Amino acid sequence: MTLVVQKFGGTSVADADRIRAVADHIARTRRAGDDVVVVVSAMGKATDDLLHLAEQVSRTRPGRELDMLLTSGERISMALLCMALAERGVAAASFTGSQAGIITDTIHTKARILEVKGDRLRAALAEAVVPVVAGFQGVSSTRDITTLGRGGSDTTAVALAAALGADRCEIYTDVSGVFSADPRLVPDARKLPRISFEEMLEIAATGGRVLALRSVEFARNHHVPLLVRSSFTWEPGTVITEEDPSMEQPVVSAVTHDTSQAKITLAGVADRPGIAASLFRHLADRSINVDMIVQNISHAGTTDISFTVPLDDVAASRQVAESMLEELSAAEVVTDEDVAMVSLVGAGMKTHPGVTATMFETLAAEGINIEMISTSPIRISCMVRSAVAERAVQVLHRAFELGSAHS
Ligand code: ASP
Ligand code: MG
């Protein structure tokens, strides 16, 4: 018997019609003979609305209470979906993250899953009941309700798939798969029928908003094949699995862009051992995810350190940096939110030199200045002004012939 986890994102359950369409699909899957565990996000923009409400009520929003508030969004969609399933004669029962046995650490609003017990889900499956689980939430080791960070329902789905030994995890969303670039910017962007976990990790980390980064990490570590599909058209989507060693890997698979990062520069920092260690330790202690780091050559014993952080973490990062001005003998902290990162991702880069040169030449020919660069074996990222990011994506997509005209 095949067990599939089906996760439906916010747009997929945004209103009553959508919830009924999703229930129809689950009923079809059951009729085909598969066992299903369902994970749902909050309806539409419900999570954003709850956050706005909290902002209006108070400037002080303790993480514990924020999590209690935000988890209510998923409770609404799971209960409504179970009602729609009941009308279709499909036995279903809703479970909060806590009821499903999703145990997390105690870091509110960014909790990590420590363990998935899943006993009640297994019991439901054994009785031919479809468990419908609230995404994005768990219960901490100290028994408080936690959330897994924005977009965390993907992680819930993958974690359940791994814990229950599901054959695959299907992520239903409002796009039909993973594309060679954002189709809103690049009309001839191509849907990728299949990509590797490694490529998907880089795509998710560099602005490809289809899947939350942590869910892809989890899927790779636990060998859970993923399928990304549209719940609007139900057409075949993108399969994300282990790299197929028998196949030649594409040199470049996708161009991504990310405008959700800011650049923070500490100017005039003392150039001596321990400075970077201390700065990045303090940032890490605040759970701030630093991405690119550049340190310039030193002039007369001082240097500049620039790094990028998510826009949401700018205020906290600035606080950390400013509190350390004296310790670092730094002159000032400068934040710059008008930056964007443009990246090329492709498993074949490992064995094809010259991709970097072509990328830089393509941007140079457009007069686009590169402010920071970082690479991995299968990715090259350039920080540029956010105003030119879209053009950068378009010219790179063309230069590497990624469009449907070339497939
Ligand atoms: N509802 C949560 C959010 O909007 C979790 C999710 O949708 O994955 O971030
Ligand atoms: Mg989502």
The beta-strand segments (E) located in 57-178 are 92-95, 102-104, 113-116, 130-134, 137-140, 145-147, 168-173
Parallel, antiparallel or unpaired: strands 332-336 and 261-270: antiparallel
Q: Which residue has the higher pLDDT, 207 or 95?
A: 95
In terms of pLDDT, which residue wins out, 44 or 291?
44
Q: Whose CA is nearest to atom 5 of ligand 1?
A: 151
What atom in ligand 1 is closest to the CA of residue 136? 5
CA-nearest residue, atom 4 of ligand 1: 47
Q: pLDDT confidence of 302, banded at 50, 70, 90?
A: confident
What pLDDT score does 356 carry?
Answer: 94
Every domain range in the chain assigned CATH 3.30.70.260: 261-336
How high is the pLDDT of residue 406? 64
How far CA 71 is from CA of 54, 64, 65, 138, 208, in Å, comes to 13, 11, 10, 9, 25
Q: Which residue has the tokens 């012939």?
A: 401
Numbered ranges of CATH 3.30.2130.10 in the chain:
339-401
Q: Which residues line ligand 1 (CB under 6 A)?
A: 9-10, 41-42, 47, 73, 135-136, 150-154
- What pLDDT is recorded for position 407? 55
Give 271's DSSP letter: -
Is 3-174 a CATH 3.40.1160.10 domain? Answer: yes
Measure 273 CA to ligand 2 centroid, in angstroms: 42
Q: Which CATH fold topology does 339-401 show?
A: VC0802-like (3.30.2130)
- State which of 76, 150, 172, 312 you would mutate to test the pocket of ligand 1, scoring each by most atoms of that ligand within 8 A of its C-beta: 150
Q: Choose which CATH entry (3.40.50.150, 3.40.50.300, 3.30.70.260, 2.40.30.10) describes domain 261-336.
A: 3.30.70.260
SS3 content of the chain, % helix, strand, coil (to 5): 35, 25, 35
For 159-191, what is each residue's pLDDT tens digit?
999 999 999 999 999 999 999 999 999 999 999
Residue of 39, 67, 136 to mutate, ligand 1, most atoms within 8 A of C-beta: 136
pLDDT, tens digit, 9 for 90 and up, residues 240-299 = 999 887 777 889 999 999 999 999 999 999 888 888 999 999 999 998 989 889 888 777
Percent with pLDDT over 70 in the chain: 100
> Is 71 a residue whose pLDDT tops 90?
yes
Q: Identify the band that residue 199 occupies on the pLDDT scale cut at 50, 70 and 90.
A: very high
**Ion ligand 2, residue ranges at CB < 5 A:** 9, 151
* Residue with CA closest to ligand 1 atom 9: 150
Nearest Cα residue to 109 out of 161, 51, 162:
51
Centre of ligand 2 to C-alpha 148, Å, is: 12
Q: List C-alpha distances in Å: 178 to 175, 195, 199.
A: 8, 9, 11
**Cβ 136 vs Cβ 41: under 8 Å:** yes
User: How does the average pLDDT of the chain come out, rounded?
Assistant: 95
CB atoms within 10 A of CB 61: 14
- Strand residue runs (E) in 271-338: 293-295, 302-310, 332-336
Q: Could you tell me where in the chain the CATH 3.40.1160.10 domains are found? A: 3-174
Its pTM stands at 0.87
Q: Which residue has the higher pLDDT, 327 or 89?
A: 89
